[in-house]
Structure 1
């Protein structure tokens, strides 16, 4: 290795990279709701649009293959009324900003083609009063759904500034009243565009 090549390699190895992007896609979600006291239970499944922003810091070692990533994604799981038994119906609505924070690892990181996998911990921010499950009858009984944190695994492909990524949110339990049990899981597919890159 010549002196010039060694200097160039050393410089590239210690460079940090920060990227900012936007994304949009679809989210397929399954919510299991069970009110044992009413003998009412149902699994709500639906697909809804989602969109958000993302940022990534690529660490200045191992050719920037490891990155700290954070996102903010909005989604709305629409309310559905289901006749759970002859006397009661069930409903659910969730309007949330989800904030995944985690690590990406680039399996392939060429100039124009990138392949990566990631693991995330997902925080959630409730919006307004639209996060609840409800037993529907003459006097409806609502149970608020509080923040549901979860873990997720994902993978993606990027060409130049454009890419696609898939993510699976592992099953997590609802945090609700003592009269109700619930859990949720989801799969999302997003297209993304990196509009800004900073290196230093």
Structure 2
């Protein structure tokens, strides 16, 4: 009788252990699932940074000769760093080229593209160019859909939602990444500001030191 009770107790202990292991695994799975539901899932590394708008290139001072060969004025009171402000030939879009502290003349560390009507402060300071619109070397431009952006840049982005707009952000955080290492700059980013699923502003380049 005692042996039977001992076997029964061992069986119950085994069942309790199995139940505990099952419960622990289930709780861990729920935590992981909750994290996935509240954060952007990283499915692949962001590996397609852009460095150009039309013929103007980040951190390449000679590229302005092809983009706009005349002298242009650096503006100090529009953004967090001095910028040069351009517009397309129809004056619908603007391009800001950011010059960070320490950048040499005509070398830019960040670009911003948007609609001129959205920023009235720019209207009297923009320099008109020959371009119909502004776009990156991979074809990104204002008015695309989010699906078109992700078809080009992939799905490894983070989302920030603000009232009726959302911001999606791609980053390369490792300054030693071979795609940006040659620039010897801080992490790289691309931001798309969207309303109705279409970007009305695009900012990309290197983070301000």
Q: Same fold (TM over 0.5)?
A: no
Q: Which structure features the higher share of strand residues? A: 1
Bigger-Rg structure (1/2): 2
TM-score, normalised with respect to structure 2: 0.26
Q: Relative contact order (C-alpha < 8 Å, sep 6+): which is higher?
A: 1
TM-score, normalised with respect to structure 1: 0.27
